[in-house]
Structure 1
Amino acid sequence: MSALICGSMAYDTIMVFHDRFKNHILPDKVHILNVSFLVPVMRREFGGCAGNIAYNLKLLGEDPLIMATVGHDFEPYMQWLCQNGLSREFIRILDNNYTGQAYITTDEDDNQITAFHPGAMNSSHLNSVPVGREDIGIGIVSPDGKEGMLLHAKQFSELDIPFIFDPGQGIPMFTGEELIQFLDQATWVTINDYESELLQQKTGLTLKQIAERVEALIVTLGAQGSKVYTHGQCIDIPTAKPKALLDPTGCGDAYRAGVLYGLMNELDWDITGRIASLMGAIKIEHSGTQNHAFDLETFKERYRANFGSSF
């Protein structure tokens, strides 16, 4: 069984400002803001939710399928996918667009100023969930172009393919009615604690009411672990211990790959949540979203060391 990963593909250009923004931004002058930050450290990473989730799921031994729209500048990313054995079958190149681009400047207090150009991502609705592909047994709708997210959720539902709704930072794009429609189509929902507050506010539903509409609602809580609301109960998932706290970017995507792995292998939520937690811990030990690597046996050893059991 394969997972169809619907979402963004992007280049992340990450710059480090060796000072604090607050020392250069005058609060009483923000209406005429004109600042320049010297950033001697810069790196370019492969990112985007679909790319990150698929990369992590591949590390766990699965063969995910990415469905995304990208631009004419995608060739370096394409080579990276080939190098890591990831399928390009459902990646559509739009010659008159750039691939999504995130420009992130981080200061010494870990504050960030980000500019994001969606580029080809805004045309994600040009892709469709394939019909008649018996190998696709599960899907995920992660942050992408608005029309694409609405379309792909509808198509998964019509094809009776169970899928995760992972709205992420895309929640503000949708009305309360549209978000409720997603909930009624989806099989599972994954959000972080901030997104849970926003989702409740926009839909007018409580967490309990949201959980009642799906088979499971997963809420990640950062260093406090995560919670799985399913069939009227709440399962507390502990954190796995990272070896270092280097870069939290992409931890949520790594966690979601762990959730997909558990669902694809019919594991219970206690195990699935712990696998997802360990995926996030491994990711935070590395800079960038796709620079960590492991084999499955090594992963299982770390699982046993953290949780005292096997899967």
Structure 2
Amino acid sequence: MSKPSLICGSLAFDTIMSFGGRFSEALLADQLHKINVAFLVPQLRREFGGCAGNIAYNLKLLQGDPLIMATIGQDGSSYLDRLKQLDIDTRCVRNIDAAYTAQAFITTDADSNQITAFHPGAMAQSHENKVGDAGKVALAIIAPDGRDGMLEHARDCASLNVPFIFDPGQGLPMFNGAELEHFIELATYVAVNDYEAELLTERTGLSLHQIAQRVSALIVTRGELGAEIFTDGQRIDIPCVKADAVVDPTGCGDAFRAGMLYGLTQEMDWPTTGRLSSLMGAIKIASQGGQNHVPSRAEIEDRFQRAFGYRF
């Protein structure tokens, strides 16, 4: 029986609203010290999100075996029901009755400016989960989550000899240079986007080359420019796959990470793993939200062959 991939990260609800005007027309520059404004948002949608949920969703599309380690609150039953319907293992999802599930409230204006309010809720208790409770796993990923949970899960993986991907994402600013360097020392792989790579090098004082020397591979995604994988003293350039449409970048990084998890657990070479990851990001960007794209495994395989000339 194959071992699952442990996905440590957040489960969250994203409430996304569209304001037809411009924030700049409602905010007076000389009155910013006493703001009292309301925006009419006739368009609203609620999405299932959070890094752990998005990664697990995409890994399941590839017919991988995700096991989520996360926390939800008193309002999280609908998310649990969804994961169970998708046949995603939720035995390591802890319910925090005294909190709400993490959620983001995002309002976008006509110029694509955004005002976001984020409530961490149950995510702040993620450290109550223990990696050892997951049993035997093939690989783990430490994705954005509660600060204490990320630190503890990394230490747990290292002590249990569980290889893991350190994926700090938007959680990176929570950690100082010494803490980030400690994550790198414990991790098997590090995955960041280009902005996060700059912040990581700035805070740790380490160059990308020095970080790559401390892990089996350093992966840096660069949006429409593709990605770079630094491993065994070489750099592998991964091309960006042309998307059918560019609709919403939300969750593209998570889709990319799912491709990495699948490629690594299937012992694919790095060029193939990187290309599959790139393809998963391109498939996601053509849909709204992080979990609304629904390609079959066969469709993913066919798209990979069309893009790269061979099957994974």
Q: What SS does structure 2 have at the residue aligned with 1:125?
A: helix
1:113 to 107, 112, 115: 115
Q: Structure 2 length normalisation: TM-score?
A: 0.97
Residue 131 of structure 1, CA deviation: 5.4
Within a 5 Å distance, the mapping from 1:137-286 to structure 2 comes to 137-286=138-287
Give the match for residue 309 of structure 1: 310
Q: What SS does structure 2 have at the residue aligned with 1:229?
A: strand
Residue 130 of structure 1, CA deviation: 2.0
Cα distance in structure 2, aligned partners of 1:195 and 1:154: 22
Give the match for residue 36 of structure 1: 38
Q: What SS does structure 1 have at the residue aligned with 2:40?
A: coil
Q: What SS does structure 2 have at the residue aligned with 1:248?
A: coil
CA deviations over 1:185-221 (Å, ceiling 9, x no partner): 0000110011111111111111111111111111111
Q: What SS does structure 2 have at the residue aligned with 1:302?
A: helix
Contact 1:100 1:120 in 2 (8 A): yes
CA shift in 2, pair 1:132/1:273, >3 Å: closer
CA deviations over 1:248-297 (Å, ceiling 9, x no partner): 10001001001111101111111111101110111111111111112211
Q: Structure 2: which 5+ residue stretches go unaligned?
A: none
Within a 5 Å distance, the mapping from 1:50-65 to structure 2 comes to 50-65=52-67
Residue 132 of structure 1, CA deviation: 8.0
Pick which of 223-232 and 23-32 moved more: 23-32
Residue 29 of structure 1, CA deviation: 2.8
CA deviations over 1:71-114 (Å, ceiling 9, x no partner): 01011111111111111100000111100010011122222111
Q: What SS does structure 2 have at the residue aligned with 1:130?
A: helix
Q: What SS does structure 2 have at the residue aligned with 1:245?
A: coil
Contact 1:131 1:159 in 2 (8 A): no
Contact 1:9 1:69 in 2 (8 A): yes
Cα distance in structure 2, aligned partners of 1:13 and 1:257: 24
Q: What SS does structure 2 have at the residue aligned with 1:274?
A: helix
Q: Structure 1: which 5+ residue stretches go unaligned?
A: none
Contact 1:106 1:112 in 2 (8 A): yes
CA deviations over 1:205-252 (Å, ceiling 9, x no partner): 111111111111111111111111111111110011111111110001
Contact 1:258 1:272 in 2 (8 A): yes
Pick which of 180-189 and 291-300 moved more: 291-300
Cα distance in structure 1, aligned partners of 2:235 and 2:154: 26
Give the match for residue 27 of structure 1: 29
Q: Structure 1 length normalisation: TM-score?
A: 0.97
Aligned Cα RMSD in Å? 1.1
Cα distance in structure 2, aligned partners of 1:217 and 1:113: 32
**Could you tell me which amino acid in structure 2 is paired with residue 221 of structure 1?**
R
Cα distance in structure 2, aligned partners of 1:40 and 1:281: 29
Within a 5 Å distance, the mapping from 1:117-136 to structure 2 comes to 117-130=119-132, 133-134=135-136, 136=137
Give the match for residue 15 of structure 1: 17
CA shift in 2, pair 1:74/1:151, >3 Å: same
Contact 1:140 1:164 in 2 (8 A): yes
Cα distance in structure 2, aligned partners of 1:310 and 1:215: 25
**Could you tell me which amino acid in structure 2 is paired with residue 106 of structure 1?**
T
Contact 1:8 1:50 in 2 (8 A): yes
Cα distance in structure 2, aligned partners of 1:275 and 1:234: 17
Cα distance in structure 1, aligned partners of 2:6 and 2:30: 49
Report runs of 4+ in structure 1 exceeding 4 Å deviation.
Answer: none
2:100 maps to 1:98: yes
Residue 17 of structure 1, CA deviation: 1.0
Q: What SS does structure 1 have at the residue aligned with 2:132?
A: coil
Aligned residues, how many? 310
Contact 2:7 2:52 in 1 (8 A): yes
Cα distance in structure 2, aligned partners of 1:15 and 1:230: 42
CA deviations over 1:146-198 (Å, ceiling 9, x no partner): 11100000000011110000000111111110100000000001100111111
Q: What SS does structure 1 have at the residue aligned with 2:240?
A: coil
Contact 1:193 1:219 in 2 (8 A): yes
